[in-house]
Amino acid sequence: MNVNENSVIEVSRLTKKYKRFELKDVTMDVKQGFITGLIGANGAGKSTLIKLMMGMSLPEDGNVRVFGQEHATHEAEIKERIGYVADDCSYYEHLTVDAMRSVYAPFYKRWDEQQFGRYLDRFELSAKAKIRSLSKGMKMKLSLAFALSHHADLLIMDEPTAGLDPVFRRELLEILSELMLDERMSILFSTHITTDLDRVADYIAFLNRGELVFHESKERIFDRYAIVKANKELLDADVRRIFAGIRETSSGFEGLTGDRLEAERLFAGHARIERPTLEEIMFFTAKGVEAHV
Ligand SMILES: Nc1ncnc2c1ncn2[C@@H]1O[C@H](COP(=O)(O)OP(=O)(O)OP(=O)(O)O)[C@@H](O)[C@H]1O
């Protein structure tokens, strides 16, 4: 596979099988200098994909390159350059924040003690606090402080906003925007709170039941997708085929299409055609065309 100069992560035809779940044939990249949001409902496979990207689990098929290299041969160099926030934020609970720092810091050549101190202050975390005494949100902040204190080139966060109050969620998004002022920085974060991405993401990758539905720039997604609202009589078999998901009511229907131009042609003057939110794209795609409400 050719290494794309502009991608920090490239995954190609990635497949991972669990007993009751399969991540199927996923090909995508994470572009350097941009924020990529990974969206999908609970259980869609976001953490599975991130763990494969991190080299923490091995695929049945396909391959992963980070900074153009493979984990099998360059694990230490790759890890050094990634700031990782896991979904479970697992630490040695009996340690203090400071003791945890002395376990964590030696793994990173570019560990920056002052930077870590600044983040602890910013997040109002005490170095003396026992980790077990921290709330879920505070542990997430601590995890972020660690991830941001070794001058990583790539930040990967698995559901960083889950369990956080709206004030800190907004602060996190501000931090991400600050980080992006360094144009070499790249960020991938997964979330099912899609409103977080409306503001900051440049690219969106959408996983549904283990399959990549799209990976495109946010502008392109909103150009391409549309919600059509019309009377039920217009919903014949021919029309159904343009929808990724349909919600029917007693008199009308709402449908999501990935082909706005085709919808405008078919429904000219007979339907309302609106711009969907990411949440609506997720909802309708997960429901599919057979859904009735
Ligand atoms: N180690 C494992 N063994 C077996 N099944 C697993 C394992 N890890 C994940 N799964 C299953 O794979 C599916 C996808 O899980 P995953 O955690 O990747 O989803 P997710 O999109 O991150 O969901 P959430 O938003 O709930 O965290 C789930 O059905 C989960 O039960």
- Dump pLDDT digits (tens) for 128-137: 999 999 988 8
Say if ligand 1 is within 6 A of residue 208 CB: no
Q: What ipTM was reported for this prediction?
A: 0.96
Whether residue 291 has pLDDT greater than 80:
no
Residue 3, H or E segment = none
- pLDDT at 219 (0 to 100): 92
Q: With a 6 A CB cut-off, is 288 part of the ligand 1 pocket? A: no
pLDDT of 212 > 70? The answer is yes
Quote the ligand 1 centre to 4 CA distance (angstroms). 29
Residue nearest to ligand 1 atom 5, measured at CA: 18
Does any ligand 1 atom lie closer than 6 A to the CB of residue 57?
no
Q: What angle do CA 189, 225, 274 make, to 5 degrees?
A: 115
Give the CA dihedral 204, 208, 211, 213, nearest 10 degrees: -50
Sorting pLDDT into bands at 50, 70 and 90, what band is 87? confident
Q: What average pLDDT is seen over the chain? A: 90
pLDDT of residue 2: 44
C-alpha 28/C-alpha 111 separation (Å) is: 30
Give the pair of three-digit tokens for residue 76.
Answer: 């230490």
Q: Is 50 exceeded by the pLDDT of residue 292?
A: no
Any idea which fold 7-217 has? Rossmann fold (3.40.50)
* Widest Cα–Cα separation across the chain: 67
Q: Parallel, antiparallel, or unpaired for β 35-39 and 203-208?
A: parallel
pLDDT on residue 289:
60
Domain boundaries of the chain, sorted by first residue: 7-217, 225-291
- The predicted model gives 96-103 an average pLDDT of 94
pLDDT score at 92: 77
Q: Is the CB of 44 under 6 A from ligand 1?
A: yes
User: Is the C-beta atom of 46 inside 6 A of ligand 1?
Assistant: yes
Q: Is the pLDDT of residue 88 over 80?
A: no
Q: For residue 163, count CB atoms less than 10 angstroms from its CB and return exposed for 0-12, middle for 13-18, buried for 19 or more.
A: middle
Residue type, 188: L
User: Tokens 């170095």 map to which residue?
Assistant: 127
Q: pLDDT tens digit string along 170-201?
A: 888 889 999 998 888 999 999 888 888 888 89
Percent of the chain clearing pLDDT 70 (strictly above): 96
Length of the chain: 293
Q: Is the pLDDT of residue 261 over 80?
A: yes
* All residues at 6 or more sequence positions from 147 whose CB lies less than 8 Å from its CB, including other chains: 83, 84, 85, 155, 157
| pLDDT band at 59; cut points 50, 70, 90 | very high
* C-beta 43 within 6 A of ligand 1: yes
Q: Which helix (H) or strand (E) holds 70?
A: none
Query: Above 50 in pLDDT, residue 293?
Result: no
